[in-house]
Structure 1
C-alpha cells in the first residue's frame, strides 16, 4: 500500500471494536479510520441476564468508544461519528450517515467494514439503545420482577434459558416463572443431551418449561400482560420478557447483497461479491454463527487475513471461514450451568469459573475497550 486509505467501520460493538483493533495495531500512518456508531458507549450485553437480577452492576458494563480510539490510535488518524448508516451505494463507494444531532453526512471510503450486528425486540439483550435507555429498562425490569407474582419468558435459545435461570434461581421459590421455548425443547439446536441438562437445571430452579408453543401476540391490559399462543390458548402474567426476534441492522444495504433474512452475503473470506473492498464481520454475516465465541475463535483470524490482503495490500494467502465445533457456556444461576467446549460437555465447575460467577463482567473490557 503506497497511498493513504480511508477505512470506514460501521458499528462499534464486539465486531466493530475487534475490526478497529485489527487495523489500529498495524500503526500504519497511511490509514485514516472512521468509526460510526449510534452510541459512544459500548454495552456488554452478555451480562444482561445477570443485570436484570442485579442492576447495581450496570456501572461495570459500559465502555467509552472514544477512549478506546484515543488509547489505540497512536500513529493512525481517526474520527468517531455518533450516528448510523441510512443508505449506501457500493458502486460509488459511498455511505450516507445520519448523526444523532440530525446532520446528514456522505462518507467516501476506500474500504468499508460492515459490523452493524443485529437487534432484538427486548432492547436490553442486544446493543442498540443508549446507555441511559438500557439502564432505565433494566431497572424497570428488575422492579417489575420484584412486584410480579407470575413471570413469563418467551424464547428457548441461550438468552431465554439464561434469563429464566437467573430469575428462577433468585425468585422462583416465591414467584411463578414460566419459559415458553417455542421449539421441541430448550436449546434444542445444541443437541438432546445439552437440552435435557438445561431443562433439568431450570426445573431445579422452579422454572416451568413449556415446549412447542410460540407467542403470537402480546397485549398490555391494565397492569397485566396477556399473550395469545400458537396453540390458540392464552397466558396472563404480571411480566413478560421476549428473548426472540433477532433483526439484522442492514436496512441501509441494497437487498441484492442480503440473504432472505436480511443478513450480509459474502464469500468465505467475508468479502462482498463484486466488492472486495467491503468486508463483513460479526452478527451481520450470513455465513457466521451469531455469538461472541464464534467471532473470537472462528471469525477474527479470517478477518485479519482478509484485511491484510484488501486493506494493507499484503500478498498473503487468504484463510477461508470454517464453522468450528460448538463452544458455548450457559449459566443457569450463580452456581453454574451447562456448556460445550469444542463439542464436548464441560463440568459445572468450569461453567462457574468462566462465566456464571460474574457473567464475565470482570473481563468485559477485553472485548470492548
Structure 2
C-alpha cells in the first residue's frame, strides 16, 4: 500500500475555497507521480454551504433581492471535478498538535476524528459579532435563521440601530435606508417623510476609516439622503434584549437607545480556538511569517492564509493576493520534501507584499457608492457598476467551482528557475 500524505485545508470560506481550488488546479498536477506515495487533499469545514457574505447588506433587506439559493452555495459539488484525490469533510477543528502533526475534528454527527497531516493550511478566517455578516464557525443555518429573523421584523420596525462605521455598517444602513425610507428629492438632503428612524453609530470620528476624509464625508451625505442619522465618537457599552423583543443599547455616556432591530456591524474575531495559544498573538490571530505565509513555529509545511493569519488586514484583497504566495511556497516545500521529509526548498521563496494603497468599494443604497482603487477615487457610478449593482453575487458560483482561480498567478522567479 502506498503511503498517504494528507494535504489538509482547514476552512472552506473565502480563503479556504480559493486556496484549495488553486492547489488542486495548479500545484497538485506538479507533484511527483510515485507508486509508493499518494497525496490526498482534505477540505474541512463545519458548513456544507459557502455564505457569500459580501452580499449580506442587500440580503438583509429583502429575500427577493438576493434569494437564499444565491447567497448560500453548496461546497462539495465544486470538488467533484478533481476525482478521488480530494475529499470534503463536514467537521469543525477542535484541537491541533503541531508536535504530532495532527488535527482533531468534530464531525456533524458529533464523532471526533484525528487527522494526520503532511501539509496543513489554516484558512478558518474570522467571524463577525452578528451572524448576519458571516458564518460563526458552525453550519450555515445559523446565518439563515438570523436573516429570516430580520426579514420578519422589518415590516413593523420603527427604530433600527446599526453599530459600526466600516463597510458592513455603511452598506447595511444604506440598503435599509433606501428600502424603508426611499431617497431624498432632487433638492433635499434628507427624505421628507422617513418611515423608520435609522441610527448608525461609530466610535470613530469618520466613516470608513480606510478611506480619505472627503470620501467618508460623501458616504455620510449619501446616508443622510436615505434617512440615516450618523453619530460619531459614540461607543457601545452594553446591549440587551428586552421582554418585548426590542434591544436596549447603552452608550458610553449613559444614553440608552431602544430599537426594534439592532445590528452590530463592527469588528471581527479570529476563528482560532483550536490553535495552541503559543502560536497565536494577543488577539487570537495565528502568528506567521508575514512574507512567506508559513507558520514557522509549527514545523514544516504549515501555512496560514486569509483573515486568521497576522499577515492579513481582514480584507478580501489580502486573501486573494495571499493565496498565490502561499501556494508557490507550499509547492516548493512539497517538491523538496517528497523524497526526504527533512529537506528544505532551495532558491528563493515567493514573498507577500501588502498593497498599502487606498482600495475599498462601498455601495450606499441601490444607486450610489463611494470608494477608491489603488489610490484612485472612483465616481459613484463606477462603484455601482462594479459592486453596487448586484453586490457581485453573479460571480459567487466561481468561488465554489474554482473558476475564480482558473488562471495561475505567474511567479517570474519560478519561470526563471530562481524559485526552484
TM interval, shorter chain, is: over 0.9
Tell me if 1:194 matches 2:218.
no
Aligned-residue RMSD, C-alpha: 1.8
Pairwise CA distance, 1:147: 1.2
Gaps of 5+ in 1: none
Match of 1:269 in 2: 292
Match of 1:367 in 2: 399
Change (3 A) 1:92 1:276: same
Match of 2:105 in 1: 97
Q: Deviations over 1:220-271 (max 9, x none)?
A: 1222221110122111111111112411110111111111110011112110
Q: Deviations over 1:133-158 (max 9, x none)?
A: 32222121122122110100011111
TM-score, scaled to structure 2: 0.83
Task: Name the SS for the 1:49 alignment partner.
Answer: helix
Task: Name the SS for the 2:307 alignment partner.
Answer: helix
Match of 1:256 in 2: 278
Tell me if 1:156 matches 2:187.
no
Task: Name the SS for the 2:79 alignment partner.
Answer: helix
Tell me if 1:69 matches 2:79.
yes
Match of 2:340 in 1: none
Task: Name the SS for the 1:319 alignment partner.
Answer: coil
CA contact under 8 A between 2:60 and 2:132: conserved in structure 1?
no
Tell me if 1:53 matches 2:61.
yes
Match of residue 350, structure 1, among 382, 394, 413 = 382
The 5-angstrom pairing of residues 155-304 of structure 1 reads: 155-172=164-181, 173-223=194-244, 224-267=246-289, 268-274=291-297, 275-296=299-320, 298-304=321-327
The 5-angstrom pairing of residues 322-361 of structure 1 reads: 322-324=353-355, 325-361=357-393
Change (3 A) 1:69 1:199: same
Match of 1:146 in 2: 155
Whole-angstrom CA distance in 2 between matches of 1:63 and 1:20: 16
- Please, which moves more after superposition, 140-149 or 128-137? 128-137
Whole-angstrom CA distance in 2 between matches of 1:288 and 1:138: 28
CA contact under 8 A between 1:160 and 1:243: conserved in structure 2?
yes
Q: Deviations over 1:312-348 (max 9, x none)?
A: 4375632221111232211111113011111211111
Q: Deviations over 1:7-29 (max 9, x none)?
A: 01100011111111121113356
Gaps of 5+ in 2: 182-193, 337-344, 402-420
Whole-angstrom CA distance in 1 between matches of 2:201 and 2:16: 33
- Please, which moves more after superposition, 26-35 or 347-356? 26-35
CA contact under 8 A between 2:135 and 2:142: conserved in structure 1?
no
Change (3 A) 1:4 1:98: closer
Whole-angstrom CA distance in 2 between matches of 1:66 and 1:189: 35
Tell me if 1:7 matches 2:31.
no
Pairwise CA distance, 1:300: 2.1
Task: Name the SS for the 1:177 alignment partner.
Answer: strand
Whole-angstrom CA distance in 1 between matches of 2:206 and 2:360: 17
Task: Name the SS for the 1:236 alignment partner.
Answer: strand
Q: Deviations over 1:12-55 (max 9, x none)?
A: 01111111112111335642011110011111111100001121
Tell me if 1:130 matches 2:139.
yes
Pairwise CA distance, 1:107: 0.6
Q: Deviations over 1:289-313 (max 9, x none)?
A: 21223212x2122122212212343
Task: Name the SS for the 2:155 alignment partner.
Answer: helix
CA contact under 8 A between 2:174 and 2:364: conserved in structure 1?
yes
Match of 1:109 in 2: 117
Whole-angstrom CA distance in 2 between matches of 1:193 and 1:294: 25
Task: Name the SS for the 1:97 alignment partner.
Answer: strand
Whole-angstrom CA distance in 2 between matches of 1:33 and 1:96: 16
**Greater percentage in strand:** 1
